Each structure stands twice: as C-alpha cells, then as structure tokens.
Amino acid sequence: MNNKSLMLFTILLAVFVVPSSISGTAIALPFIAQELGNQASALQWVVNTFNLFFASFTLIWGAMADKFGAKKCLLLGVFVYVLGSLFSIIARDLLLLDIARALAGIGGASVFASGASLLIKNFEEKERAKAFAFFGTTAGLGITFGPTISGLLIDTFANTSMGGMLISYRAIFAFHFLVLAIVLLLGQALPKDDSNESAKNPFDILGAFLFVLSLFSFMAFITFIAYFDSQTLIALVVFFVCGGLFIGQQKSLHVKGLSPLLDLEVLKNKRFFGFSLVTVIAGFSFVVLLTYFPSFLQAVWGFSASSSGLFMLALTTPMLFCPFLVAKMLNSGWDTKRLALMMSLLMSAGLIILAVILYLFPVQWQILPVILLLFIIGVGMGLHAGGIDNLALSSVDPSKAGLAAGVLNSCRLGSEAVGVALYGALLFFFVSMSVSFLSINVADINAIVAGNTKDIADGTKSYLYAFCATLVILGVLCLVLSTYVWRLLKQKQ
C-alpha cells in the first residue's frame, strides 16, 4: 500500500466512526437510562452535546486547519475523540457521559474538516474526485450501518460485566475507541504540514466563542422549553445577546476585509438560501428519525437493540445509491427547483404520513407501510446528500465558494443539532400532556421519555401518542419550509 493509499485509508477509518456515532448512539438511550438514570433533560444531552459540538466545531477546525496545519488538527481531534470515547466507557453518571460526548463531538468535527483539507492538499484533480467519492461513500456507510452495529454490540454484551461494570451500551464507545486508536497509530502515514501554507489572517477566537455559545444557548432553550422556568428564559436571553454579538462581529470583519468565521453575506443569494433550507428539512426529518426511531421500536414494538438496528436499514440504505442517482438526474437536465422540492416533500410529507400510520393503523398492518415510508424518507435524504451541495454552491460566485460551503455546512449541522433537541423537548411535553388522559403517574414521565415503558401502565400508549404528535409537528414545519424553498427558487436572482 503506497503512502497516499495509506493516508486515505487512515482518514476513511476515522470518517466511518463519526456518522456511525451519530446514527448509532441513540439506540443505546434506553440502556443508558436503565443504568445511569432517566432524567429526561440529562438523557437528551447525551445526543445533543455530540451534535452541538460537532456542529459548532466543524467551522472552527476548518479555520484552525488552514492556520496551524491539517495533519496536526486531525490527529489532535482524533485524540480528543479517543478521550471522549474512553470517558464515555467509564462514565458512572449522566453528567460525565454528557461531557464525554461533548469531547467526542469536538473531535469528530476535526475528522471531517481536517480530513477533507488533507485530501484537497494531497491529491491531484482526478485523484481528488476519486478520494472524495470514497470519503462520501464511507460517511454513507457509517450512517447506514451505525444503528445495526450499535444494536448488535449492545445485544452481544448485554449481560457481560468487567470490573463490576456492565458492558452493554459501553461496547459502542469501546468500538469507537479501538478504531480511532488505530487511526492514531497510523497517523505517521499522513503527510507533514507545509508551514508556508498557513493562513495569513488571525484565527477568529472571539467569533468561535460566540458561535458555540449562541448555538449552545439556543439548544438549551429548546431543551428547557417544556419546563418553561428561569433556566429557559436565561438560555433565551443568552442566545439573543450572543447571537446578536456574533452577527455584528462577523459583519465587522467582512467590512474590514478580514476572513470571518461565517460569512453571512452569501445568504442574500436567494437560490443559495433556498437550497440551504433543504438541509434544515433534512435535519428536522431524516436525522430525527435516524436518532430516535430505534427508541420507538424498542419502546412500542418491543424490538431488541439488534433488531432495531437492522430495521433502520430501511431508512439508511438509500444513502448508498441515491447520491449517484441524483448526479445522473442533474446530468440529464432535471429542473433544479423541482428536484429540490421533491427532496423536501419526500422527507416532510413522509414524516407526517408515518406518524398517521403509526397512530391509526392496527399494529399487524404497520410493518410494511412503515418500511416503505422509511425508505421514501431515506430516498429524499439520499438525493439531498448527493445533490444539494452541488446545487447550492453552483449558485454563488466561484470566488465565494469556500465561504458559502462554510455557511451551508453550518446550516446543515446546526439544524441537525436543533432538530434533535426540538424532538426531545416536544416528546417530553406530549408525554407530560398524556398524564391528563392516561393512567400514568407524573413520576413515570422521565422513564417513558427514555423509552422504558415495559413496567408502566399505559406507558407504551403515552410514548406512542407523544412520538406521533412530535413527528406531525416536525413534519408540518418541514412542509412550511418546503413551500418557502419553492418560493425562493422561483424568484429571479
């Protein structure tokens, strides 16, 4: 294996772990709740913290890779991810696990930002296209098989203990730890950073701090909104203050001719903005299902972790072929406006119809329609994954493509983080509402939200009602965004 092949293999190993962590970790939530406690907000943050810091630090690592070198940043990020995985294994309470997942999210962001930077700098044009095809395919494989691998690991080690600690869900984090430890060992295969290529502009530390704090406070507001207490109001105030300061500071850098962390000027381009909103729809539909549908399968249908992971292939399999399909569609002259609308409607309408079938159809009639709807939503996501970046970035001036890519990725990752947090808040709200018409106790709300419904009277009914109501609200929101996407794309630039 030559140096370039070994470098590509090393990067792809790391790339596989990150999306598999996003798609696979949520399947462990009921098991985490059984062992570490089922406090709803703390449990939500097991998923939220990874998504939050992954979204926040993708921009930051990209800027740092330009400033300090992609190899240094990639290996540092992988090391942080390894630490996060190790702390996730040994965590004995939800707070430590939340902190560990935050570290993993920070490290995961480096893998994508710095890994892509290494490919750009070390592969020529024809080789680069092939390398990025492997990069995208590997990410798709991670998303596709993350739930399946995680479910199999949980069931395999469900009754295994080590040092007085049940392995169970910890096998997922151990898998991440081992794979990324191999990446660190192979790190010598990565080419040295060229000191002459470091960015001339100083790294925007203030912008990075305000960006992270803005997104964190907004997600905290969404998480606490079901309680609507002083914490909710504090989070909202912090969001408005930090968000306003961040926008003002980024505009100031733009005016001064310096490189802002996030150039918001490209959002004035209506086509770019319209295509970018499709990523928000994906974050509020596909990513929510990817994260939380395994919990539904275990809580309502009584599936095991491994069976839930296998069932999720109905949703994730289209990620393997739809990116190639959309490329053929675009090359054959498909109207881009209609294509963007089709992606959006497949995901948003699919979400609403799924909720209706789960709530109204008899259980024995549900499995085949649900598999079909998950596949349809997955097709919408797969078409989006393969085409929306090309459509969005092609609508801006080539000289601004780099800045536009930063905005697009922030929109995508931020909406995924916010969508998952919004789902958790809505689920808690509707489970709390069900107390008024079902035979459940207030003390059981957290357990139901965590998916542990077996020993609770009407617990399954409460979870089903809350899950379907949440999907309908998210689906309607996505439908509204779909109509706005159509309006934006119809307007003349």
CA dist 58 and 273 (Å) reads: 20
Mean pLDDT along residues 148-166:
86
Return the pLDDT at 26. 76
Q: Please say whether the beta carbons of 275 and 344 come within 8 A.
A: no
CA dist 345 and 483 (Å) reads: 9
CA dist 78 and 98 (Å) reads: 18
The string of pLDDT tens digits covering residues 35-75 is: 888 777 777 788 888 888 888 888 788 778 777 888 888 99
Q: At what angle do helices 270-284 and 336-360 cross, to 10 degrees?
A: 20
Give me the residue label for tokens 């319209």.
274
Whether pLDDT at 401 is above 70: no
The string of pLDDT tens digits covering residues 322-355 is: 877 887 888 888 888 999 999 999 999 999 999 9
Mean pLDDT along residues 438-463:
85
pTM for this prediction: 0.85
CA dist 53 and 391 (Å) reads: 27
Least confident of 106-120, 254-268, 304-318: 254-268
